[in-house]
Chains A and B, each alone.
Chain A
């Protein structure tokens, strides 16, 4: 019974003032979106479905950044460092361990943990040194850029861990995909329908989990710290610990993205930690609306799909558009384009409802 009430109390945290969307209408929409996403593979080619998992892979990192930046107010420009660390860790582990016995799943967990530990160490120095917003951004960015340079020069054969060669700027490849052990033979998650469903389920779980987190007592405190860190401290909270906790959770999600991406393409390069790669999560989250998980999720998907469409003309053109989008967002819709659109639409809606109420 206690367990049941515990579960209901957690479920009530799925909605709250920290997240957009509540009530029947929102959850009906949510169910509709999930149903559409689940039905999509029935109408599409397996190859396309597998390719489009690519878009899902990045959303974890975007949601993590949304937590750190949007909810926690800490500017982290180096989430790609944790993406890269976990991606390389997955590669090294699976190349050495192989894909039997569900070891790839173990490697996934281990790689995410490694990125979390790295985030904890870096975050300890930053937050316990009480580094302010601006500096936090440039230190984290410096870390990811130096990581890129470090990995880039590991092309020589002397750079290897076990049987896994780091391969420098050429990138590391040929690691096995995630594989689920199964009685009738292991299910290898190639970029295909099975991987699509696995990633979709993971994404839904992470999204709902984060909704609960930001509406929980922990979430209240991190938003309070964003609003007024001094006051939060004077209400008895160790601000540094909460900021560090947020940073570790968000960075683990970047790590999860790194693992999924590496397993999806069986490939990772140091460029995934470079300046261009580091700028993209900022674009997704800023354009979507960093102060809310749902707007971040949809913003990320939209920008990723738009970017992909523009890449036909060359990735440099797509990046110019991304840069312009970023500047425009900051100037015109600082809360994010998707978030502004949502609030505009809901204002329209309530006004309309009020008018029709008057008539009847």
Chain B
């Protein structure tokens, strides 16, 4: 029995890490994969999702609706920022990173000024269950389900909807898409908004499990960065497998040496892997198809 229990424990931890990596990274990956832009304000969209959904819960909105609201608000702000700032920088991807970093500074410190150094949380819902001698959080299982559901939903969006097809066309050959009458400006704006909304979703989903502080975004971004770096530009061939592999690595190191070792080990793994697979997992899978 002990073997079964510890197997379950390891699977649970890997699944938890996988969910965290997928949810943290998919917003960043959508924007990077489609536009080649790394959004350094990613953590602040997560913050936005967390704060909005928590406030909504405090006002009595049910949790799922509150989380959806958080994602929606983050998405709208994302579209707005795309219009105001990011749009002017598409020919200078490196400058986009710098500009989004500026946005991130304003957002973090602005939140600190306006809302103070912390916000009251809501507590984790659904309680826990026992396997062997350990108790596990039901909500964490829900998060794992949400990670898979998010991937499935993105798959449907990019393969089955008009927006998805146009978006992929725009990304592959922007000038042709434009010549064919695609409103590429709108596509970019929607893509950026989608990425921001996914970040907001991650924030809303994890808000009940963590301390809400203005710098909470930075708890997500290292994981998001390494998943995107190691995954490469494609969400389904890159981000998801990268999250799965890193999830196992992180869970193994965490159960062996603690949380921080998991993080350090993951970063080291990434630095070594990029030496071998510079274009990430998706680049390796799509090897030289270009």
Contacts and interface: CB of A to CB of B under 8 A. Distances in A.
Interface string B186-212: 000000000000000000000000000
Interface stretch (A95-103, A143-151, A348-356): A143-151
Interface in A58-104: 75, 77
Interface stretch (B51-59, B138-146, B149-157, B260-268): B260-268
A146 B98 CA distance: 20
Given A129-B276, A331-B99, A142 B88 contact: no
Nearest to B270: A139
Nearest to B274: A129
A326 B275 contact: no
Contacts of B221: 142, 145
Interface string B88-99: 110011110111
A131 B278 contact: yes
Contacts of A323: 101-107, 109
A141 B272 contact: no
Q: Chain B interface secondary structure, helix, strand, loop or mixed?
A: helix
A279 B102 CA distance: 8
Quick one: which of A139, A141, A142, A331 has the most chain B CB within 10 A? A142
Interface stretch (B6-14, B63-71, B222-230): B222-230
B101 A326 contact: yes
A324 interface: yes
Contact of B94 (A75, A145, A149, A314): A75
A286 interface: yes
Contacts of B103: 323, 327
A194 interface: no
Contacts of B93: 133-134
B215 interface: yes
Given A134-B38, A153-B260, A125 B110 contact: no
A78 to B, nearest CB: 11
Interface string A306-332: 000000001011011011111100110
B218 interface: yes
Given A122-B271, A330-B89, A129 B99 contact: no
Contacts of B226: 139, 142
A129 B279 CA distance: 9
Interface residues of B, number: 46
A139 B229 CA distance: 8
A316 B113 contact: yes
A138 B38 contact: yes
B36 interface: yes
A150 B264 contact: yes
B215 A126 contact: no
Given A125-B272, A149-B263, A323-B109, A135 B229 contact: yes
A138 B225 contact: yes
B176 interface: no
Contact of B102 (A126, A130, A142, A330): A330
B285 interface: no
Nearest to A135: B229
Contact of A326 (B98, B229, B264): B98
Interface in B76-94: 85, 88-89, 92-94
Contacts of B107: 323
A275 B228 CA distance: 19
B165 interface: no
Contacts of A134: 32, 36-38, 93-94, 97
Interface string B27-57: 0000010001110100000000000000000
Interface string B165-195: 0000000000000000000000000000000
A245 interface: no
Contacts of A129: 274-276, 278
15 contacts: A129-B276, A131-B274, A134-B32, A138-B38, A138-B97, A139-B229, A141-B225, A143-B267, A145-B221, A149-B260, A286-B98, A323-B106, A326-B98, A327-B85, A331-B88
Given A125-B275, A142-B267, 18 more contacts: A125-B271, A133-B94, A134-B32, A134-B37, A135-B274, A139-B271, A139-B274, A141-B225, A146-B222, A276-B105, A319-B105, A320-B110, A323-B103, A323-B105, A325-B102, A326-B98, A327-B106, A331-B89
Interface of A: 75, 77, 122, 124-126, 128-131, 133-135, 137-139, 141-143, 145-146, 149-150, 153, 274-276, 279, 282-283, 286, 314, 316-317, 319-320, 322-327, 330-331, 334
Interface of B: 32, 36-38, 40, 85, 88-89, 92-95, 97-99, 101-110, 112-113, 215, 218, 221-222, 225-226, 228-229, 260, 263-264, 267, 270-272, 274-276, 278
